[in-house]
A and B are shown apart, each in its own frame.
Chain A
């Protein structure tokens, strides 16, 4: 098992724009770290530098405390699962799995044993003699994982390994990779642009944008307490409201909106009174027709624009604060009635659920997913 650390790592191809910008990141032994971000955010470049296929322009990458910038990829002993699996088409599954063992001059008997064990681990013990082209996408994916693990590497890198699978298979494989990670305790660095994947599988998520880590935290923290407006918009759905900070008191602040309303919010941004901010509020944190209770709840009235039925929950679009459209997610089991368009409605939320973030709303380099 291995630890990884990036120390002031930068990468530029043209000398002008940095693909990776002064990155510092530590991955602990046995950790499952996901690099999540839109395309072009630098996450794949980080992975390629770690694997040895790209060289950092400046800074140093350490594997188990050893600098590896000058170590050739084949000497790093890092397993890698590629986006399109890169299973060798002219070899059988067993030959693919045996390849990393053969180049390590392991005895034939040991190779056979290790290959069988790896095939059993991914539950494909009977497919050793098939060619990759004869396997389904899901099976190829399992073989790719098995091949990256068969030589007991210290570290396994995965580059969007589930991107080519359909939704159901993708979810199934997420659990399987997680199960293998827990069983072997191997360190995994996983690159994806799919937030659901990152949230499901990771111990830690590093959200990338513009070659920088926007937030490094546990999945629940990234989702519940985004540290800036990019993370808030990139992960999950959020109602965003621009405004100006009027006053800060403790961890709370008062924010004036465009229509003149002032509401309370959790002050996450460093901006002082008079500074611009983006308020972010999760749709599922909003309560419809809240029961009157203590004074820490923000109440607002709005007009129903539409109500969309999505099976387990309903999405209600409400016009509030003059012109803003809020999305409210309500579990259908707890929703007592349906709304008609134009109807007045009262929404409520705890002031701490509304986070006052930095104002840079146009932060993302790619389309926000």
Chain B
């Protein structure tokens, strides 16, 4: 490269146009180098994000719709069910294929994947599969169809076969349907699940309103504090800022324990209320292990995320604006409403969004102090990840949550006029 540039320099040396050309080329090269250098500087972070964030996220999202395990285990059955019209029981060959698949799955210890997938939609799928798999050792006399129906009458039900056919598709909507308290009947129609099984939509709504309420409470509590901090001299405001940040530095267990001490039925707050005569001895408030507990604890933890963006925006507003408004004849209330408040809106939006998004995904605090009624959607996601091992449903719930958060972010961006948000 350098050689060719030098050669071209020698060849065309002396003419103005070629010199200009050369300079232009050198300029491009140096710019390219600068770009490469910049790229090299951000590359480690980009790679880290790709490996540790983007890739797992994508895997999780695909898990919400992917169904390949079931189809991979029952691959013969899936293939022979492809042409089945679904009206009556499948032909003899399909039964034989199923028997072969189950036999192989039993040997490879993959029956669990079949039963767990079936179990969500077919009551008693587990004993059915287990019983069938145990009795597959000997060749039947009158074909597999008769034998299997003999083992379990369910095998004569076309609905079960329709379910197996649906489950052996490479992609499925059933996790998303389940996440929205819907299910697909054997005939393919979608309808809501029984009222006593419908929990996720309620949880989504609860998560939304709890997060919105926490953001609102944080704003209500944080705004005056931030305004005061922004006005105080630096030395005092630094000290107070430390108090604001204290929740960050406190161990979660210490925090939780203190909340229990404070908020429980015989706790400090209730004792105080009884002592003051505000509530009777029998009317002690239940402030913890329910939604109230979740609200109080989350507001406490997330308050700094509201105060910091507010503070940074307010710090940039010189006190002369409010003074100017006063000198122009505005009452303090008008000066606040028309001059101070509008200028703090970017901070209000940033803080509210930050707290809301964090609250939507909050998991540990509701798990510890939320009791039954204070659980949020992330607690259920964690349950499906760790206890029920229904990762597909967990992924679907997570995906819906993610889309919801992105939607809120988009909405906020529209509200701020596309200027983006000022975070801290």
Q: How far is the CB of A266 from chain B (nearest CB, A)?
A: 44
Known: A73-B326, A74-B326. A86 touches B331 (CB 8 A): no
Chain A residue at minimal CB-CB distance from B321: A86
Stretch in A75-83, A115-123, A180-188, A212-220 with 4+ CB within 8 Å of B: A75-83
Contact A88 B327 (CB under 8 A): no
What does the 1/0 interface line of B78-98 toward A look like (CB < 8 Å)?
A: 000000000000000000000
Stretch in A99-107, A340-348, A355-363 with 4+ CB within 8 Å of B: A99-107
Chain B residue at minimal CB-CB distance from A87: B324
Contact A103 B328 (CB under 8 A): yes
Q: How far is the CB of B235 from chain A (nearest CB, A)?
A: 15
In the complex, A142→B279 CA distance in Å? Answer: 62
Contact B318 A104 (CB under 8 A): no
Within 8 A of A (CB), among B338-361: 338-339, 342-343
Contact B324 A80 (CB under 8 A): yes
Contact B334 A103 (CB under 8 A): yes
- Complex contacts, A88 vs chain B, CB 8 Å: 321, 324-325, 339, 343
In the complex, A80→B338 CA distance in Å? Answer: 18
Chain B residue at minimal CB-CB distance from A95: B338
Within 8 A of B (CB), among A7-37: none
What does the 1/0 interface line of B293-336 toward A look like (CB < 8 Å)?
A: 00000000000000000000000001011011111111110110
Contact B338 A73 (CB under 8 A): no
Q: What is the total number of residues of chain B having a CB less than 8 Å from a CB of chain A?
A: 19
Q: How far is the CB of B202 from chain A (nearest CB, A)?
A: 41
- Complex contacts, B323 vs chain A, CB 8 Å: 51, 53, 73, 80, 82, 86
In the complex, A337→B355 CA distance in Å? Answer: 79
- Complex contacts, A84 vs chain B, CB 8 Å: 318, 320
Contact B343 A89 (CB under 8 A): yes
**Counting CB contacts under 8 A, is A336 at the interface?**
no
- Complex contacts, A99 vs chain B, CB 8 Å: 325, 328, 330, 338
Contact B329 A86 (CB under 8 A): no
Main secondary structure of the interface of A (DSSP, over half): loop
Contact B327 A51 (CB under 8 A): yes
Chain B residue at minimal CB-CB distance from A73: B326
Q: How far is the CB of B206 from chain A (nearest CB, A)?
A: 37
Q: How far is the CB of B92 from chain A (nearest CB, A)?
A: 78
Q: How far is the CB of B269 from chain A (nearest CB, A)?
A: 40
Contact A83 B320 (CB under 8 A): yes
- Complex contacts, B324 vs chain A, CB 8 Å: 80, 82, 86-88
In the complex, A86→B328 CA distance in Å? Answer: 11
Q: Of A74, A83, A90, which contacts B327 at CB under 8 A? A: A74
Contact B329 A104 (CB under 8 A): yes
In the complex, A15→B350 CA distance in Å? Answer: 43
Chain B residue at minimal CB-CB distance from A144: B324
In the complex, A83→B332 CA distance in Å? Answer: 21
In the complex, A77→B326 CA distance in Å? Answer: 10
Q: How far is the CB of A91 from chain B (nearest CB, A)?
A: 8
**Counting CB contacts under 8 A, is A349 at the interface?**
no
Contact A103 B327 (CB under 8 A): no
- Complex contacts, B320 vs chain A, CB 8 Å: 82-84, 86
Chain B residue at minimal CB-CB distance from A53: B323
Contact B321 A151 (CB under 8 A): no
In the complex, A277→B323 CA distance in Å? Answer: 45
Within 8 A of B (CB), among A170-216: none
**Counting CB contacts under 8 A, is A329 at the interface?**
no
What does the 1/0 interface line of A52-80 toward B look like (CB < 8 Å)?
A: 11000000000000000000111111111
Chain A residue at minimal CB-CB distance from B327: A80
Q: How far is the CB of B322 from chain A (nearest CB, A)?
A: 9
**Counting CB contacts under 8 A, is A147 at the interface?**
yes
Q: How far is the CB of A256 from chain B (nearest CB, A)?
A: 52
In the complex, A83→B321 CA distance in Å? Answer: 11
Contact B331 A73 (CB under 8 A): no
Q: How far is the CB of A96 from chain B (nearest CB, A)?
A: 9
In the complex, A89→B338 CA distance in Å? Answer: 11
Partner-B contacts on A (CB < 8 A): 51-53, 72-80, 82-84, 86-90, 99-100, 103-104, 147-148, 151, 157
A-B contact pairs, 22 of them (CB 8 A): A53-B323, A72-B326, A73-B326, A74-B327, A74-B332, A76-B327, A77-B329, A79-B327, A82-B324, A84-B320, A86-B318, A86-B320, A87-B324, A88-B324, A88-B325, A90-B342, A99-B325, A99-B328, A100-B330, A103-B331, A151-B329, A157-B327
Partner-A contacts on B (CB < 8 A): 318, 320-321, 323-332, 334-335, 338-339, 342-343
Given contacts A74-B327, A82-B324, A151-B328, 6 further A-B contacts (CB under 8 A): A51-B327, A78-B327, A80-B324, A80-B327, A82-B320, A103-B330
